[in-house]
Amino acid sequence: MKKIVGSIVNIKRFEIHDGDGLRTTLFVKGCPLQCRWCHNPESISPKSALGYYAHKCIGCGNCVPACPYGAHTVDKDGHIFHRDRCQACGKCAEACMANALLFYGQHVTPEEILPQLTADMAFYKNSGGGVTISGGEPLLQSEFCAEVLRLLQAQGINTAVDTCLFASREQLDCVIPYTNTFLVDVKAIDTELHRALTGQPNTRILENIRYLDAMGKDMEVRIPYVPGQNSGEIEKIAEFLSTLHCLKGVRVLPYHDLSGTKYASLDMQYPLAGTDTPIPSTEAVEAARDTLRAHGIKVLTK
């Protein structure tokens, strides 16, 4: 029997923004989009990577002997991370006492992580919650995610998949039978604008949304609201969403610029750095919500 292995970034418990009730969210690695405002840069590449948060380092030196490739030195001048030597094995992160080194891309089987995902079943039942798979993009690892979801549903746990839906029909069909709710990002309706903002057109995404709707699958749509980037698309998005039948509601997610330390830890350049993209005002976000409401769309704010 084929062994199914996935690459994961993190598991967070007691989440309240990734579906109904209290939830555990499994973050998987790899995304086909390159969104300019992405706040999870550690999940973009499918390859394992090491994040170094210099401000957290206490200079304990545990990473030095732990790394077989000599990627760390600690001396009187402090800790130096030689990223060019790093092979992303994760051994230094295991030895780090201060979480200054974080390993992204642990390889696990569905059976290995299941105990962590089912540990809070009592909270799921009491709150109407469950488990959400997010990313990155779960559909890039559709076989792995489908098996995780199947195991969860076999124990009566509600499941959700947080997805951009830039995936093949085969990948989507793989997880549909085991997913109660799809949490879907809609970033723009204009195809060329979507390409400029994410690196990919949105034709496949919109087709997959219609496909899920035709199959009667519950969907919650999330709209990242980024001034000067996609803020002018709200009316078009509202018009498109108003044609759907299985839309549970829509969340407008205001842009924030709090992910800079993540990019720095990975030696990545934040795409919106230097663009003066503002944090949207409360009034602007509420106006976007009002546009959706005017089209008869339920807006979720809690």
Average pLDDT rounded to a whole number, residues 141-156 = 98
Same domain? 53 vs 125: no
Are 92 and 151 contained in the same domain? Answer: no
Q: List the CATH number of the domain containing 84.
A: 3.30.70.20
Q: Give pLDDT tens digits for 150-183.
A: 999 999 999 999 999 999 999 999 999 999 999 9
In terms of domains, do 70 and 192 share one? no
Q: Is the pLDDT of residue 5 over 80?
A: yes
Q: How confident is the model at residue 137 (pLDDT cuts 50, 70, 90)?
A: very high
Query: What's the pLDDT at 77?
Result: 87
Domain boundaries, position 75: 49-104
CATH number at residue 279: 3.20.20.70
85 shares its domain with 205: no
> Does residue 164 form part of some domain?
yes
Q: Are residues 193 and 229 in the same domain?
A: yes
pLDDT of residue 258: 87
Average pLDDT of the segment spanning 19-26: 97
302 lies in a domain? Answer: no
Choose the final residue of a domain: 104, 119, 139. 104
The pLDDT of residue 138: 98
In a domain, 139, yes or no: yes
**The pLDDT value given to residue 262:** 95
- 119-129 pLDDT, tens digit per residue, is 999 999 999 99
- State the average pLDDT over residues 34-42: 96
Condensed to tens digits (0 to 9), the pLDDT of residues 82-100 reads: 999 999 999 999 999 999 9
Is there a single domain that holds both residue 222 and residue 81? no
Residues 33 and 91 in one domain: no
Looking at 88, 104, 120, the residue that finishes a domain is: 104
Q: Is residue 195 part of a domain?
A: yes
Mean pLDDT value of segment 95-107: 97
Please check the confidence at residue 60 and state whether its pLDDT lies above 80: yes
> Into how many domains does the chain fold?
2
Q: What pTM did the predictor assign?
A: 0.95
Shared domain for 286 and 205, answered yes or no, is yes
Q: How confident is the model at residue 2 (pLDDT cuts 50, 70, 90)?
A: confident
39-59 mean pLDDT: 96
Residues 160 and 53 in one domain: no
pLDDT tens for residues 174-188? Answer: 999 999 999 999 999
Residues 21 and 68 in one domain: no
**Reduced 3-state DSSP string for the chain:** CCCCCEEEEEEEEEECCCCCCCEEEEEECCCCCCCCCCCCHHHCCCCCEEEECHHHCCCCCCHHHHCCCCCEEEECCEEEECHHHCCCCCHHHHHCCCCCEEEECEEECHHHHHHHHHCCHHHHHHHCCEEEEECCCHHHHHHHHHHHHHHHHHCCCEEEEEECCCCCHHHHHHHHHHCCEEEEECCCCCHHHHHHHHCCCCHHHHHHHHHHHHCCCEEEEEEEECCCCCHHHHHHHHHHHCCCCCEEEEEEEECCCCCHHHHHHCCCCCCCCCCCCCCCCHHHHHHHHHHHHHCCCCECCC
Report pLDDT digits (tens) over 259-301: 999 999 999 999 998 888 999 999 999 999 999 999 999 999 9
Are both 55 and 189 inside the same structural domain?
A: no
